[in-house]
Amino acid sequence: MNLNNKAHDGLYINGQWLAGFEQLTVINPSTETVLATVTGGGETAVDAAVEAARQAFTHWSQTSGAERGALLRKIAHGVQARRERLIELQSLNNGKPLFEAGIDVDDVFATFNYYAELAEALDAKQDSAVPLPSDDFAARLRREPCGVVGLIVPWNFPMVTTAWKLAPALAAGCCVVLKPSEVTPLPELELAAIIAECGLPAGVFNLVCGTGLAVGAPLSAHPGIAKISFTGSNAVGVQVMQRAAETVKGVSLELGGKSSLLVLADADVDLAVELASGGGYFNAGQMCSATSRVLVADEVADAFLEKLVARAEAIRVADPFDPEVEMGALVNQAQYQRVLGHIQRGQGVGARLVCGGERPADLPKGYFLRPTVFVDVPLDSALWREEIFGPVLCVRSFATEAEAIALANDSQFGLVASVVSSDPQAADRVANALQAGLVWINAPQVIFPQTSWGGYKQSSIGRELGPWGLQAFQETKHVVRAL
């Protein structure tokens, strides 16, 4: 694959590709070799991008939803047309298997199409009458784009997290400055190249590659930005919020998780094993929604653990381009060391490693790790309480439904949860009691653009996807007239 095209200049500002000042080295995590060099910008580039977006906002905010919808559909079709290249770029840059990268690209396609529909529907309900308890006044509600928005995204699902912000922002009529992760800029640079060909007015969409401190920090503090939508770690989310506070700008935050999968006593154990494996090892466990705590009813705990360990040991960890691959590489050296550190410290505090925890013997290079299962994990340990962001499952048994719910809810996070049960009433009862923004029952982690994404407690502020994702980029205005 030729990675040397103009899309890798690093900055796309006011409809122009530009070079930044800082060389960012992009690594292939499966081989530990250099994939590409991308230039990153800093405060000057952020200023230029925000200014271009502010100029473009005057016109773009006045376009009809139908016009914006047509452009969003064009982007969706561009994504579809470049599907294979986008899949390969994601696998090369992130280390995820081709089939997983394919799911990501299809999600991006669906998201742009979904928000094209919502943009088109805006025309009919731009102004809606508000019933009042008075004949002397009439009121109407308008929803207007909130302005120029800054989008900051992580490396684990680079294109998907971008699409979940970019599509609704454009649909609402906002202009955008996007900052991809410096670890995985290649998929977004390709997406930017697609957008550049779709005929969006110059300045509506701008991209500035760079590090968090060089680009993310000035973007978060910029007085010309109306809102920051951020996905990433809690530590950085707090900094973004603090910087945004200086100019009282809105923030949407999608942060970490420590989610649970609950296997009730009447569960189909084989299904539970498949769902635990998917919830723990998809994307090599580098998911904010990883169900890394598995809570299993005493009645089925032994059978479940035996089958889970057999499944984990059978997972084929390999190069993402291997046709038989089930799990790819972790994203980089830092993440690899972080996960290995958690595994080591977990053993140090008495957690029992049942399988995995080390590099596969047949893969001497690349950030590969065998799917890992722990039991007897102390409830006050980092392994149990902190986000590991790697292929590590902690399994614990429970005696009662109430105990399982209490264990699952005992976390600073509350992003997602899964329940496995053959009793629909019990599954619903448990789902309703869990503090999580999305609960799957007997289902893998399917995500539809129509349902919301985001969580309770320290996992999120706001919700993405669905109409909530659009409203996040809209201001609410009421106009009240005396009759």
Catalytic annotation, residues: 254, 288
> Does residue 208 contact residue 11 with C-beta atoms inside 8 Å?
yes
Q: What is the DSSP letter of 465?
A: S
* Residues 207, 194: Cα–Cα separation, whole Å: 13
* Residues 390, 357: Cα–Cα separation, whole Å: 10
Whole-angstrom CA distances from 53 to 36, 61, 176, 207, 292 are 28, 11, 6, 11, 40
Residues numbered 146 to 165 that lie near ligand NAD (CB under 6 A) are: 152-157, 161
Chosen residue from 255, 318, 377, 393 binding ligand NAD by CB under 6 A: 255
Residues belonging to the chain: 483
Chosen residue from 256, 320, 346, 371 binding ligand NAD by CB under 6 A: 256
For 72, the token pair is 């969003």
Name the one range near ligand NAD by CB under 6 A: 83-91, 249-257, 273-281, 320-328: 249-257
Q: Taking CB under 6 A as the rule, does residue 93 contact ligand NAD?
A: no
Helix extents (H) in 214-297:
217-221, 234-245, 269-281
- Identify which of residues 90 and 421 has a Cβ nearer to ligand NAD in the complex: 90
Span between the terminal Cα atoms of the chain, in Å: 67
- Identify which of residues 217 and 318 has a Cβ nearer to ligand NAD in the complex: 217
Chosen residue from 182, 188, 190, 319 binding ligand NAD by CB under 6 A: 182
Q: Taking CB under 6 A as the rule, does residue 214 contact ligand NAD?
A: no
Chosen residue from 94, 181, 206, 259 binding ligand NAD by CB under 6 A: 181
For 475, the token pair is 């201001």
User: At a CB cut-off of 8 Å and minimum separation 6, what does 189 contact?
Assistant: 7, 8, 10, 38, 180, 207, 209
Smallest separation (angstroms) from ligand NAD to the CB of 480:
38
Residues numbered 395 to 454 that lie near ligand NAD (CB under 6 A) are: 415
- Identify which of residues 114 and 389 has a Cβ nearer to ligand NAD in the complex: 389
Smallest separation (angstroms) from ligand NAD to the CB of 11:
15
Chosen residue from 384, 389, 398, 473 binding ligand NAD by CB under 6 A: 389
Q: Taking CB under 6 A as the rule, does residue 240 contact ligand NAD?
A: yes
Count of residues that interact with ligand NAD, criterion CB under 6 A: 31
For 384, the token pair is 């149990």
Q: Taking CB under 6 A as the rule, does residue 101 contact ligand NAD?
A: no
Q: Taking CB under 6 A as the rule, does residue 179 contact ligand NAD?
A: yes
Helices 65-81 and 186-196, axial angle in degrees (round to 10): 130
Burial of 55 (0-12, 13-18, 19+ CB in 10 A): middle
> Does residue 323 contact residue 422 with C-beta atoms inside 8 Å?
no
Name the one range near ligand NAD by CB under 6 A: 212-220, 273-281, 351-359, 469-477: 212-220
Chosen residue from 206, 220, 283, 474 binding ligand NAD by CB under 6 A: 220
Smallest separation (angstroms) from ligand NAD to the CB of 352:
26
Chosen residue from 14, 80, 233, 409 binding ligand NAD by CB under 6 A: 233
Phi, psi of 359 (to 5 degrees): -70, 140
Strands (E), 180-246: 205-208, 227-231
Residues that bind ligand NAD (CB under 6 A): 152-157, 161, 179, 181-182, 211-213, 216-217, 220, 231-233, 236, 239-240, 254-257, 288, 387, 389, 415, 459
